[in-house]
């Protein structure tokens, strides 16, 4: 059996850990740049605030209804997530961290009563981290996702361990809510009369193969109880790494945009070094405001091949700036730039270049020491001059909560 443990309204729940007075009140967390609503408390959902809604459209409504609003604080959520995953590892040696707020936990070899065990997991996470979770248990990942959804409507735990329960669960789950079935497939399936997960398990496999590829076929088998999606316990290195941000305000100055691009490139380099990889390609993209009524939308991108795969700051920045200069058109008002690195290989296995020799060890050392200093003293304490200091491209984060668990000077103060 596999348990899916999933934090309820995760980002909002993280904020509530340090603001217990918010319990029972409407709370939302916004995306970067305070753009869209990306996490809502149950009370906020009840008010009709939708996932992904632009915050500015709901500003007045949220003020009138005393909704507490937070900018996203990924440092905090990431830290609480790590703690949650560590706690889960006490329950099973086989934990797959699936996303920031959920994990699959293999219950293979656990002899305790499944229902009791699931309740114990839920209670322990709540006690240790302060986050409410739902636990869904079933034979396959796809079924445990369904169990988890049912759990959240009940007391937080749902175990599907018999044919009767399975059929009930499948009959009471819309096909659109099944893991692996998105909007497009749901529409197509509904149009031929497939409404529930149960209907889908009765659908002809050849039709599924033809219209939804092998991925759809796996979903059908998983719903029937045959595992097709394995547990993946080891963190796999990323095949693509991206750092992209919308600007705090629209920009047309290439020098300021260069600061943003080079900082994004450095972030990508840091992510590469963290997973001990190097990248062979770098893509730079830039675009204007896609929502603008008055200006035309312009999107451009450029992919460059590095002479030698690299993960050091100055290499990636050099290529990124080069790419930007090729894309940049004066007089346009830009809204966002991004850097994506790909062609990722192991740090230790680098193909040298016929013309440029091997990697420059000195520059790699500089990057490593920069990492150490920045980890100890704070992000970008040591940086390249081109990264600059102009605030215009930086995110809007007007409602940011403190970094309660990761910065000494932002620790919660308690009066006793």
241-300 residues in contact with DNA (CB under 7 A) are 241-246, 249-250, 271, 289, 291
The 141-180 site mask, x for binding DNA (CB under 7 A), equals ----x--------------------------------xxx
Residue 163 corresponds to which tokens in the numbers above? 């044919």
Q: Which of 104, 185, 200, 334 binds DNA (CB under 7 A)?
A: 185
Q: Cβ 148 to DNA, closest distance in Å?
A: 9
Does 306 help bind DNA (rule: CB under 7 A)?
no
C-alpha 20/C-alpha 133 separation (Å) is 17
Q: Which of 238, 300, 394, 403 binds DNA (CB under 7 A)?
A: 238
C-alpha 346/C-alpha 272 separation (Å) is 10
**Region binding DNA by CB under 7 A among candidate stretches 26-34, 129-137, 197-205, 371-379:** 26-34
C-alpha 113/C-alpha 119 separation (Å) is 10
Do strands 102-106 and 133-138 pair parallel, antiparallel, or not at all (unpaired)?
A: unpaired
For residue 281, list its beta bridge partners.
Answer: 305, 342
- Tokens 């059996």, located at residue: 1
Q: Which of 38, 147, 203, 261 binds DNA (CB under 7 A)?
A: 38
C-alpha 137/C-alpha 208 separation (Å) is 26
C-alpha 122/C-alpha 372 separation (Å) is 37
Does 340 help bind DNA (rule: CB under 7 A)?
yes
Q: Cβ 269 to DNA, closest distance in Å?
A: 12
**Region binding DNA by CB under 7 A among candidate stretches 42-50, 79-87, 232-240, 403-411:** 232-240
CB 196 within 8 Å of CB 171: yes
CB nearer to DNA: give 152 or 245.
Answer: 245
C-alpha 210/C-alpha 216 separation (Å) is 9
Backbone angles phi, psi at 376, to 5 degrees: -80, -40
Does 33 help bind DNA (rule: CB under 7 A)?
yes
Summarize as ranges the residues that interact with DNA (CB under 7 A): 31-33, 35-36, 38, 52, 54, 56, 59, 98-99, 101-102, 145, 178-186, 213-215, 238-246, 249-250, 271, 289, 291, 335-336, 338, 340, 395
């Amino acid at each position: 059996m596999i348990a899916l443990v999933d934090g309820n309204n995760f980002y909002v729940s993280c904020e509530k850990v340090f603001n217990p007075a918010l319990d029972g009140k409407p709370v939302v967390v916004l995306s970067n740049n305070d753009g869209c609503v990306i996490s809502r408390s149950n009370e906020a959902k009840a008010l009709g605030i939708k996932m992904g809604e632009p915050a500015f459209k709901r500003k007045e409504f949220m003020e009138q209804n005393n909704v507490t609003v937070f900018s996203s604080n990924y440092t905090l959520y990431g830290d609480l997530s790590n703690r949650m995953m560590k706690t889960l590892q006490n329950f099973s040696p086989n934990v797959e961290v699936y996303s920031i707020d959920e994990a699959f936990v293999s219950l293979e070899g656990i002899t305790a009563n499944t229902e009791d065990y699931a309740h114990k997991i839920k209670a322990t996470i709540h006690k240790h981290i302060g986050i409410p979770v739902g636990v869904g248990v079933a034979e396959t990942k796809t079924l445990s996702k369904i169990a988890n959804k049912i759990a959240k409507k009940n007391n937080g735990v749902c175990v599907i361990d018999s044919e009767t329960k399975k059929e009930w669960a499948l009959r009471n789950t819309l096909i659109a809510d099944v893991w692996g079935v998105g909007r497009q497939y749901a529409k197509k399936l509904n149009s031929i009369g497939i409404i529930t997960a149960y209907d889908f398990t009765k659908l002809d496999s050849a039709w599924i193969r033809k219209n939804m590829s092998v991925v759809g076929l796996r979903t059908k088998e998983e719903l029937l109880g045959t595992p097709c999606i394995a547990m993946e316990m080891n963190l796999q290195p990323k095949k693509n790494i991206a750092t992209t941000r919308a600007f705090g305000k629209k920009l047309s100055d290439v020098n300021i945009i260069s600061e943003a691009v080079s900082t994004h490139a450095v972030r990508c380099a840091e992510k590469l070094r963290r997973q001990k990889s190097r990248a062979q390609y770098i893509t730079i993209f830039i675009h204007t405001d896609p929502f603008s009524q008055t200006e035309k939308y312009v999107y451009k991108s450029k992919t460059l091949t590095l002479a030698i795969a690299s993960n050091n700051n100055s290499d990636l920045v050099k290529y990124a700036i080069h790419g930007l200069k090729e894309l940049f058109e004066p007089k346009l008002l830009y809204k966002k730039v991004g850097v994506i690195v790909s062609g990722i290989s192991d740090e230790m296995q680098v193909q040298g270049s016929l013309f440029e020799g091997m990697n420059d060890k000195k520059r790699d050392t500089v990057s490593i020491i920069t990492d150490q200093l920045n980890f100890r003293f704070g992000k970008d304490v040591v940086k390249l001059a081109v990264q600059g200091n102009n605030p215009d491209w930086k995110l809007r984060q007007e409602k940011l909560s403190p970094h309660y668990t990761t910065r000494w000077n932002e620790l919660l103060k308690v009066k006793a």
